[in-house]
Amino acid sequence: MTEKNPTSAPAGPRLVHDAVSPATPISAPPASSARRWVLRVVVVAGILMIGAAGLAEHQRATVLETRVAELSAALSGAQAELSARRQHLDAIRSSVADMRERVGALEALAGADPAPPRAGPKATPGH
């Protein structure tokens, strides 16, 4: 007869019996379920934060666009005022140039030799 060696593995497939009955579903360990919930919460919080940041940037862009429109209108007004002042200065310069010409003509007239005296009416004897 052959003796069985208790330390040697028997030939053929090895059967492993589970302590849980086959009718009982095996659930995931609680740590794995908690990790999933934490991951979901982090993802949802991240999405909400990105959405809030996007909304804040949109509002900031709207405010800046409004400010740009206001500044553009102010710039247009300032340019119109500047143009009017330049036209006024051009008119003043033209008046000054005309005045210089007149003053020059008067100085020339004042510096010219006076005309010879005219002979007045002849005196009549007896008077």
Residue whose tokens read 């009718």: 23
Gap between the Cα atoms of 50 and 85, Å rounded = 52
Opening angle at CA 84, ends 78 and 90, nearest 5: 135
- Is-above-0.85 flag for pTM? no
**What does each of the 127 residues of the chain score in pLDDT, given as a tens digit?**
455 555 555 565 555 555 555 555 555 556 688 899 999 999 999 999 999 999 999 999 999 999 999 999 999 999 999 999 999 999 999 999 999 999 999 998 888 877 766 766 666 666 5
Tell me which amino acid residue 17 is: H
Q: Backbone dihedral region of 21: left (phi > 0), alpha (psi from -120 to 50 degrees) or beta? A: beta
Gap between the Cα atoms of 100 and 108, Å rounded = 12
